[in-house]
Amino acid sequence: MEKDGQERIVVRTLGEFSISCGRYRISDADSRTKKVWLLLEYLVSNRLKDLSLEQIAEAVWNDGEESDNPANALKNLVYRARSVLRELCPEGDVDFIIFSRNTYLWNREIPCVVDVEDFEQCCLAGENVALPETERIDAYLKAIALYQGEFLPKSSYADWVITKSAYYATLYNNAVDQVVAMLDRHKRYEDIVEVCEAAVLRHPYNEAIHYAMMRALVASGQRRKAIAHYEYLSDFFYKKLGVTLSESVRSLYKEMTSGMESIEADVDSIEKDLCEKAPPQCAFSCDYEVFKQFYRIQARSIARTGQSVHIALLTVRGLHGELPEPRQLQKLMSLLKEVVLESLRKGDVVAAYSANQLVVMLPMTTYENGEMVLRRILSAFGKKHRVRDCFIDTKLREINPSAF
């Protein structure tokens, strides 16, 4: 490989670590010693800095492992790294790692494109308020496309990687927030959806991104998709974190459902759309916002018919009344919901009220029958969860139509 007309080296550090030169490529997916990769990653990531032997050794051996002869150990590691790099240019002799000023460094004379350097430059261009907003949008979108995942994920244990990874993740989150706001001003809703769909895969617990995506879906005429995403999100947050969504997200859901556009259709089409795809096998499970609508419908109905409808609240507590730790609570609530759905009728309704509570609606049920249902649930739960580390507190109350 000659200096003139030399092929560029392309380095990826976001989502993986790989070095490519033309048709040749090496990556951390290959079975190599971790320290060889860590050395290469450190030298490439700091190729524009002047590093000392001490800094390099500390970065590579930051796991507490020591050597009787650090200088010789580093020399041997560099030799092995150079052997790996030869695979990039089997037809030539290129010094990727050179020894200069009593230290090792990545050869800066080799044309090299590093994704994280381009990513940072694009983020800086996006932040430049002196540029036209359309150019800033393009810069941010390019930065977001370059961010293919966590910085050096297979070396995430290294202290220097942790610091850089947090920095680049912050840049990415800021890029998403800024470009979504700009795209919204330009009414580029489909671009917002595309940005947010990628972002929620990387940061699934960021409610703000989900919120922006649902708003953009509604604005672009995809209201049903927005509602479906909310329902998925509500279930996801409950199962993974044991929490309900924020008030702002729930308010958006109310707006989405209350403002449904009317679509002209015949009654057969509407009935087909309303019917469940498969015959129901258990009680109806829904989001708490939907549960409230069911409650209000039942309350209005019993004021006229006089039928009895009861509400039950089931609360999971530790043996001393405390809230179980999150991981244990998640398992307990998942099991309780499973038992409740199996124990109730198909016309009963169940929703998560809080991280440790389920609320149940029992239409056309007397108080005595309601208590019997709760005893059945507690018995079934006890058979499935035999460890005595919690108890289920139950409350039963009849809906009062006079309040409506």
Closest CA to 307 of 347, 273, 338: 347
Please write the tens of the pLDDT for every residue from 14-50.
999 999 988 888 988 776 678 899 999 999 999 988 8
pLDDT at 192 over 90: yes
Q: pLDDT at position 265, please?
A: 44
The conformational region for residue 213 under phi > 0 = left, psi -120 to 50 = alpha, else beta, is alpha
Q: pLDDT at position 389, please?
A: 84
Please write the tens of the pLDDT for every residue from 288-308.
888 888 888 888 888 677 788
Q: Provide the β-strand partners of residue 66.
A: none
3-state helix, strand and coil shares in percent for the chain, rounded to the nearest 5:
55, 15, 30
pTM over 0.85: no
Better pLDDT: 243 or 279: 243
Q: What is the mean pLDDT of the chain?
A: 86
Q: How far apart are CA 29 and CA 299, in angstroms?
A: 61
Q: Give the chain's domains with CATH numbers.
A: 1-131+140-147+156-176 (1.10.10.10), 187-252 (no CATH), 280-403 (3.30.70.270)
In sequence order, the 6+-apart residues with CB closer than 8 A to the CB of 3 are 109
In sequence order, the 6+-apart residues with CB closer than 8 A to the CB of 56 are 39, 42, 43, 74, 103, 104
pLDDT at 187 over 50: yes
Helix (H, G, I), strand (E, B) or coil at 10: strand
pLDDT at 255 over 90: no
Q: How far apart are CA 309 and CA 325, in angstroms?
A: 34
Q: pLDDT at position 29, please?
A: 78
Q: How far is CA 46 from CA 26, 27, 40, 52, in A?
A: 19, 18, 10, 11
Q: How far apart are CA 140 and CA 124, in angstroms?
A: 9
User: Which of 124-138, 303-317, 355-369, 388-402 is modeled with the greatest confidence?
Assistant: 124-138
Q: pLDDT at position 31, please?
A: 62
Number of C-beta neighbours around residue 135 at 10 A: 13
In sequence order, the 6+-apart residues with CB closer than 8 A to the CB of 40 are 17, 19, 81, 84, 85
pLDDT at 247 over 50: yes
Number of C-beta neighbours around residue 149 at 10 A: 15
Give 120: exposed, middle or buried? Use CB within 10 Å, 0-12, 13-18, 19+.
Answer: middle
Q: pLDDT at position 143, please?
A: 96
Better pLDDT: 120 or 363: 120
Q: pLDDT at position 68, please?
A: 63
Please write the tens of the pLDDT for every residue from 202-244.
888 889 999 999 999 999 989 989 998 998 888 888 777 777 7
Q: pLDDT at position 117, please?
A: 95
Tally of helices (H runs) and strands (E runs) in the chain? 14, 11
pLDDT at 154 over 80: yes
pLDDT at 251 over 70: yes
CA atoms within 13 A on the CB side of 287: 21
Identify the residue whose tokens are 């949008």.
Answer: 137
